[in-house]
Amino acid sequence: MTKTELKQLKAATEKLTKWESSGKAFGHFNVIEAKASYQKGADKIYEFFCLMKILEDLMKNYHIKLSPGTRTGKIFPEAPAEKKGWPYFSIENKMNSTNKYQVCYGTNIKLSRAPKTTIAPDISIQKYDSTEDPDESMVELIMDAKFKYTNTSALPIEQVHAFIQRVNALQTSVADSLPIAFNLLTKLKSNCLLTNGKALHDQHDYCVLSKIKQVENFDSNSSVFNVVG
């Protein structure tokens, strides 16, 4: 990644965080932006970019509310963490008040049959009444963001395997039937492995069977992304 590309990613992410009435980027971006360089730390910016990009799209059809955490107000954890005390987003459909969810960032989700084991997707869409200590029964859809410092780099098969394992463990294989109303990002109504790099096109059938999608070229520099699966 060049310095110019990092600057573009930072600028795009900061712009996406200004959906609040204050017109200012809220706390989390300021924390991770200061630590990112074109050699390291940009992956955290990219993860947050993906979250903000998805919320921007959902905003067309949903009222979105940021529920501040009791620990740090509007700043999100920089690593996977328990849900209790950290912020999350509540979304409610503008035309149907029963169509509502929580959108969480880096939240640990425990497995009910193995409660000492947790999985923390970068983005999880949870039931509207999900608790502060969610298990897989409260999760509807998950996404992970995989940043590539060279945008011609492809996802390694190990990351595809690992994401499918997460989907199976959290039992979100029916995510594509979720009645969530995306606007322009309708192809993302699934368990998605997002990357600014390239997908593994030869794994299309594997993705279809496993109920996931690889999303390549999902980047601040491009308005066109491609879905495999």
Which residue's entry shows tokens 């595809």? 160
Please state the domain count of the chain.
1
Reported as type and span, the H/E element at residue 163 is helix 157-170
Query: What Å distances lie between residue 52 and 96, 141, 204, CA to CA?
Result: 23, 16, 27
Q: Is the dihedral of CA 214, 217, 118, 177 positive or negative?
A: negative
115 or 41: which leads in pLDDT: 115
- Phi first, then psi, for residue 117 (nearest 5°) are -105, 130
- Supply the pLDDT for residue 87: 84
User: Among residues of the chain, what percentage have pLDDT more than 70?
Assistant: 80
Domain, as residue range, for 185: 3-228
Residue 124 and residue 106 in contact, taking contact as beta carbons nearer than 8 Å? no
Query: In angstroms, rounded to a whole number, what is the distance separating the alpha carbons of residues 152 and 144?
Result: 19
- The 10s digit of each residue's pLDDT in 130-157 is 999 999 999 999 999 999 988 899 999 9
Q: Compute the mean pLDDT over every residue in the chain, rounded to the nearest whole number.
A: 86
Q: What is the pTM of this model?
A: 0.88
Size of the chain, expressed as the number of residues it contains: 229
Alpha helices, DSSP H, located in 17-129 = 27-35, 42-58
- Model confidence at 166, in pLDDT bands (50, 70, 90)? very high
- Phi first, then psi, for residue 206 (nearest 5°) are -60, -40
pLDDT in tens, 177-222: 999 999 999 999 999 999 999 999 999 999 999 999 999 999 876 6
**Could you read off the pLDDT of 5-44 as tens digits, one per residue?**
555 655 655 554 654 544 444 555 555 555 655 556 778 8
Kindly report which listed range (14-23, 74-83, 89-98, 157-166) carries the lowest average pLDDT score: 14-23
